[in-house]
Amino acid sequence: MTDTTVPLSRPAAPSAEREMTIRGLVLGALITIVFTASNIYLGLKIGLTVASSIPAAVISMSVLRTMGGATILENNLVQTQASAAGTLSCVFISFPCLVMIGHWQHFPYLETTLLSLAGGMTGVLFTVPLRRAMVTHSSLPYPEGVAAAEILKAGSEGGNPDSLKALMTGGLVSAVVTFATGGLRLLSDGASATAVWGGAVFRASTGFSLALLGAGYLVGIAGGLAMLVGAIIAWGIAVPVLSTMLPNTAHLAPAAFATQVWAQKVRFMGAGTIGVAAIWTLAMLAQPVAAGIRDMLRAGRSVGEDSQSRDLSPRTMVLLTGVSLAILFGLFVAFQAPIMGAPGAAEHAIIGAALAAVLFCALFGFLIAAACGYMAGIVGSSSSPLSGIAIIAVVMIALFLLGLEQVGLLPAQMSANGHHLAIAFALFILSAIVASSAISNDNLQDLKTGQLVGASPWRQQAALLVGCISGAVVIPPVLELLYQAYGFVGAMPRAGMNPDHALAAPQPALLVTIATGIFQHQLDWNMIVLGAGLGGVLIAADLLLRRWARALPPLAVGIGLYLPPAVSVTLAIGAVLGWACTRRRPSLRAETGIGTMLASGFIVGESLTGVLLAAVAGATGRDDTLSVLPAGADAMPMVLGFLVFVAICTWFGRSIRRV
């Protein structure tokens, strides 16, 4: 597999255009409220969120153009700020855990806000030294970053009319399909087939998402096929083998049993693979990252450096990092306040546990930031498996706290009642790591967009910090509102509420299970260890393939194992379609080419429509408000969805080759 990616373009020439403005900051803050609310609702409802960078760019261009005097750089800063806040909403993965275990009865505003803010700020700051190595001097495709840049270029006054037309065409097609799928329910969002052979359950699935099709085109053949390999290992080998070994005690149908095996076993295997592959990727990036840090420090001492090459100054970085870690230290101490007056409680143990937790967040947070940035560079922010990162993080945090307990550095009260307080403390620390991971997952994507439109990195980084403030302020009331209105499965705020309306909160439920299992010595480690071993094999295979100018990115394979097959397979379809249409004419993959613009439009249309449908669901409390088909009508939407998807793939391929 050749490592084909979207080629890098030179950044635009430095411009005197205005970039950071008061009206832009205000608009970014207003957009934040919409995306934060919709993403938290979607995340707690179905475990997925919508990318906020692209919709924010479209909204910004529309509003600022109406106000007059808008520039491409001003629009870029608005989408940067709004995307940071929208991405920070991924803390829905961790905060509900504290309610589900009974440690919190509601979402305390100050703690939730400060933890989101401090964690998010570290995510920005940890990725600043990575920009030169992973954006400026990297061939990573950054599909959503490229798409956002093309939207900004096409929407600017000097944009190419043909590019704008292709972008709008792709967006319109995708919006119509998404509305027919997620709103009217006339089209299915995927198809699957299940077969049983000798007790082994085989299941093949694909999705019909045009956004994933476009993202696959932008990702390229190496990343797309690597994810397909991961899906084949998961559903063609692991699930069939495990389904013959594990009892179907609930007497589930074959398809449901296969899905259960994947969710409860194979995903942990994927998490182990992601962990090993991430460590290997970080090791490979060590030299360029070190060089990037040296360049950043030199740039900080260079008075006349080009604004397009300058990051936040080292002094500002140190100050803000110190403030963020100080906030985390205060929160970790305050978390242990209930045991300070308990008999035998030692203040030095409480302070020591807080300091150790801060040190863990600093060291582990930086490593996770680099891993998340790299994964976002491969598959985009919205497809990057933050849940997998959260699994790795909660395992590491739990083991870390157990290690502190063994050497006597953890307050004894944390071990009482089945380690209840220790479990809660681990999930509290996890919330800071998740916030940091979510922002770092988005930050480098935004910096890629900025590179392509000629933005100033330090201004983007400042906008990201402002976005963290905006998001952190909005997150607690949204979480509280949704919890009081619906409750979570297994954790209802009041007696007498209808459990059928409760939000599923799939990721928090899984993380609670893992944390509790580790502290109470009930977690099955076999799949995680097996996944780690597979990660080692994949690293060796990738090194071997690179001798023949081929690639099999092990991290992408791990992502394919972990993500639902509909995501991995659809991305692979887009990658293969792009390779087939452009392999004889590589120039067609240029960033202003028809394929890139249509693919970007697919992402735009689905993202915007997804936000609108999320708003409708949030307002009505139902996700099927607009459905026009009766319940149980599954066959016709699947057939229609398949036919529409094939037709659009055919049209997409012909449009690329026609140029």
State pLDDT tens for residues 467-500.
888 888 888 888 887 787 777 877 788 777 666 6
Measured in whole angstroms, how far is the alpha carbon of residue 567 from the centre of its chain? 13
Q: What angle do CA 174, 376, 100 make, to 5 degrees?
A: 90
**Cα radius of gyration (the chain):** 24
- Lowest average pLDDT, out of 149-153, 164-168, 376-380, goes to 376-380
**CA–CA separation, 271 vs 267, rounded Å?**
6
Q: Which pLDDT belongs to residue 115?
A: 93
Token pair belonging to 9: 């373009």
Are 144 and 382 in contact by the 8 Å Cβ rule? The answer is yes
User: At residue 103, what is the residue type?
Assistant: H
**CA–CA separation, 641 vs 504, rounded Å?**
26
Are 83 and 123 in contact by the 8 Å Cβ rule? The answer is no
Are 637 and 629 in contact by the 8 Å Cβ rule? The answer is yes
Total Cβ atoms within 10 A of residue 436: 32
The residues facing 98 across adjacent strands are: none
Are 215 and 379 in contact by the 8 Å Cβ rule? The answer is yes
Are 486 and 102 in contact by the 8 Å Cβ rule? The answer is no
Question: What value does the mean pLDDT take over residues 182-198?
Answer: 87
Q: How confident is the model at residue 112 (pLDDT cuts 50, 70, 90)?
A: very high
- Lowest average pLDDT, out of 237-251, 298-312, 447-461, goes to 298-312
The residue with tokens 């502190």 is 404
Q: What angle do CA 381, 385, 391 make, to 5 degrees?
A: 140
Establish how many alpha carbons lie within 13 A of residue 166's alpha carbon, considering only the half-sphere containing its beta carbon: 25
Q: How confident is the model at residue 11 (pLDDT cuts 50, 70, 90)?
A: very low
Q: Which pLDDT belongs to residue 649?
A: 94
Q: Is the pLDDT of residue 37 over 50?
A: yes
Which residues fall within 8 angstroms of residue 518, CB to CB, at 6 or more apart? Answer: 394, 395, 398, 399, 402
Q: Which pLDDT belongs to residue 614?
A: 66
**CA–CA separation, 97 vs 299, rounded Å?**
43
Which residues fall within 8 angstroms of residue 256, CB to CB, at 6 or more apart? Answer: none
End-to-end CA distance of the chain: 26
For 582-631, the pLDDT digits (tens) are 877 765 555 456 787 788 778 767 766 776 776 676 677 666 778 887 76
**CA–CA separation, 402 vs 425, rounded Å?**
12
**CA–CA separation, 70 vs 153, rounded Å?**
13
Question: What value does the mean pLDDT take over residues 285-290?
Answer: 61
Q: Which pLDDT belongs to residue 629?
A: 76
**Burial zone of 521 (CB within 10 Å; 0-12 exposed, 13-18 middle, 19+ buried):** exposed
DSSP string, 27-61: HHHHHHHHHHHHHHHHHHHHS-----HHHHHHHHH
Q: Which pLDDT belongs to residue 38?
A: 64
In degrees rounded to 5, what are phi and psi of residue 305? -70, 145
Name the residue among 194, 138, 141, 157 with its Cα closest to residue 71. 157
Token pair belonging to 298: 């030199």
Q: Where are the domains of the chain?
A: 22-170+273-298+323-336+345-550+595-619
| 3-state DSSP helix/strand/coil % of the chain, to nearest 5 | 75, 5, 25
Name the residue among 368, 373, 379 with its Cα closest to residue 563. 379
Q: Is the pLDDT of residue 425 over 80?
A: yes
Are 608 and 58 in contact by the 8 Å Cβ rule? The answer is yes
| Average pLDDT in the chain | 79
For 537-563, the pLDDT digits (tens) are 999 998 898 888 787 888 788 878 877
Total Cβ atoms within 10 A of residue 368: 27
Dihedral sign of CA atoms 343, 347, 348, 352 in order: positive
Total Cβ atoms within 10 A of residue 260: 16
- Determine which helix (DSSP H) or strand (DSSP E) holds 80, and give its type and residue range: helix 72-88
Which residues fall within 8 angstroms of residue 298, CB to CB, at 6 or more apart? Answer: none
pTM above 0.75, yes or no: no
Q: Which pLDDT belongs to residue 13?
A: 41
Name the residue among 192, 313, 338 with its Cα closest to residue 253. 192
Q: Is the pLDDT of residue 325 over 90?
A: yes
